[in-house]
Structure 1
């Protein structure tokens, strides 16, 4: 009898001493990464993924106590496939959170699905106005920029330099059109005039006819938006046409971010505007650049920063709800009110969930986008059409 009693006491003690079941079996957090792994934007997708995973690794592979597991889809920068791709992540992989994408058309499709399903979405690049404009929602956030922001800042810069007549050239899709619109708004507000708006379909890189038209127009300057492989070819073609020496080229910073190695000397001296530069020199940025280079054997660019900050934003929301994503209003509110300690400099979010951030003027020196100064301080996208 005493033996039985002793066994019962020992068993009860073991139960009491054991950690709570919830602590042992906290469900994994499934993050769906929908980024380009092929095509002109593949390198951008890789940098975003690396940045996101670096922050998670720095937290020991967990956010708010939940181990992070990734499901991934190559979105191919193809808006026509975007809805099917995002539904694969939601229905096949049962992800808790969506992160993507680079291409604005793809991101808009993701935003529609996220808004319809209530799934948290963090956009780590695509700057389409609609995402934090007419499609804004409590569960949709951006860790990057709006297309309007770098364009508007550069419009102010070009006007301040005394240029009066400008030609713009870009791909004809949301990112390019909205970047040009931001530039034009600021430039013409300051008394300048956009005399011609040139474009070609994404991702076409046959620039020669348009470069000939620029040469014939003889503007004071050119403003452009291109990124990835298209940015490499445009910079090289612009120089080869002899235009770099005669007509100054200004751009949103994507023209020279992640592309300088391939552009070589043709990019030297170019001025661009963006929310990051290669030599900010702050302790936060230095630590990030060192950690990224150690992990991936390359230097980070703006895309890596945006991925890193997307993970920071997710962590801010999860920490507030102790990892419980069923507490959606609290999760959303925590991200909305967070101050993100970014390598680019601390930023907050606007009412429409777009970063309110400094936009820097940078100049290409060798293989770096060197800081010249702040082009626009704490620039907030107007969030037109957002009803939140």
Structure 2
């Protein structure tokens, strides 16, 4: 009798294990994302979200379902969102986040839960810390160095820095200081502000009094308008250099005539038809611009749109490869995606051509950065 009971119990366990395995694997790829759709970084998150209709709805015959949640631009909310996406929605891969503060906050969860991330923001973590993610954006170090070199080429010797009082501001400043030290440029002022601030008067007065040859403002979207306008209002007429994440329609709309003539490092999307045909991503960025125009005839694309769009290009490639070895909803599928992310070679996107290496989260080259200015209320290409 006992032997019979043991056999029945063993058979039940076998049935349960088989059912669990069948439940784990599923016939759809689930992609999760925590986006900053409200709060100070909402311009970045809503721009990223606008691009979602252009991401793949099916990969190698498998349907793709996207689960997007708002983190309110709050890193702690982003962490809670990602935990929920993993534990309750059982995502196979994450995209986003849409600002650096939330990106750094969620990065440690990737290894904990073994879930890969195609990052929509620049997360400057390297080596083992980048094992579970890649960045589709241009590295901060690359475009900051390009700004510093342009300053040097145009005779700037004493410059000022403006950035957020958070990890993004610290990272941008560290890279800027490194480049300036190498080029013999002196940073005479380092001013900070919060993304939600409504006044920059005190900082602007200190910068104007210091009389730098140029100012580098490392800020994004609508918050970037504040220091640019405050400096112009206080009579500062010398060059203002901005980050790629500032480049967008919100910046033009809110800044108006006061941001005419500012300079920004940028990816290609603000000027897709103006960049030289020799740029390897010209075709891809023009395709994105054309598709975006069909979706939003009255809205011009900004620098977040190609980040989202290229996330889809990468997703399509790595998921198709992962499907050859495992089913969605399994750890094997997530591991296969992670493994493929860091071996991508020669994948052309709208930002640049992606070539990833193990322990290196960035993949684009220097031709992903161009310089633009504001002329007559529009972005104008002024060189590489």
Answer yes or no: is 1:149 the counterpart of 2:150. no
- Alpha-carbon distance, 1:72 to partner: 1.9
- Match for residue 129 of structure 1? 124
CA spacing shift, 1:330–1:94, aligned 2, 3 Å: closer
TM-score by length of 2: 0.83
Say which is worse superposed, 341-350 or 324-333, in terms of deviation.
324-333
Task: Answer yes or no: is 1:76 the counterpart of 2:72.
Answer: yes
The TM-score with structure 1 as length reference comes to 0.82
Contiguous gaps of at least 5 residues in structure 1: 1-21, 375-388
Does the CA contact (< 8 Å) of 2:204 and 2:227 recur in 1? no
1:332 corresponds, among 333, 338, 342, to: 338
Q: Deviations over 1:89-116 (max 9, x none)?
A: 1122222211121222211222111111
1:304 Cα deviation (Å)? 0.5
Output the CA distance in 1 between the equivalents of 2:303 and 2:357.
Answer: 20
Output the CA distance in 1 between the equivalents of 2:48 and 2:227: 23
Which residue of the partner structure matches residue 257 of structure 1?
A: 248
Q: 2:375 matched to 1:365?
A: yes
Task: Give the SS at the match of 2:300.
Answer: coil
Alignment of 1:356 with 2:349, yes or no, is no
Counterpart Cα distance in 2 of 1:350 and 1:267:
39
Contact 2:158 2:212 in 1 (8 A): yes
Q: Say whether the 8 Å CA contact 1:100–1:122 is kept in structure 2.
A: yes
Q: Find 1:108's aligned residue among 78, 92, 104.
A: 104
2:239, 2:153 → 1: CA distance?
14
State how far apart, in whole Å, the 2-side matches of 1:187 and 1:163 are: 10
**Equivalent position SS for 1:144:** coil
Query: Contact 1:277 / 1:369 at 8 angstroms: preserved in 2?
Result: no
Q: Does 1:280 align with 2:272?
A: yes
Aligned residues: 342
Judged with a 3 Å threshold, the aligned counterparts in structure 2 of structure 1 residues 45 and 329 are, in CA distance, closer, same or farther, namely: same
CA–CA separation in structure 1 for the residues paired with 2:84 and 2:372: 40
Partner of residue 55, structure 1: 55
User: Is 1:39 matched up with 2:30?
Assistant: no
CA distance in 1, matches of 2:173, 2:235: 23
- The CA deviation string for residues 197-251 of structure 1, in whole angstroms up to 9 with x for no partner, is 11123432420000000111111111111112211222222222221x2x32112
SS in 2 for 1:355: coil
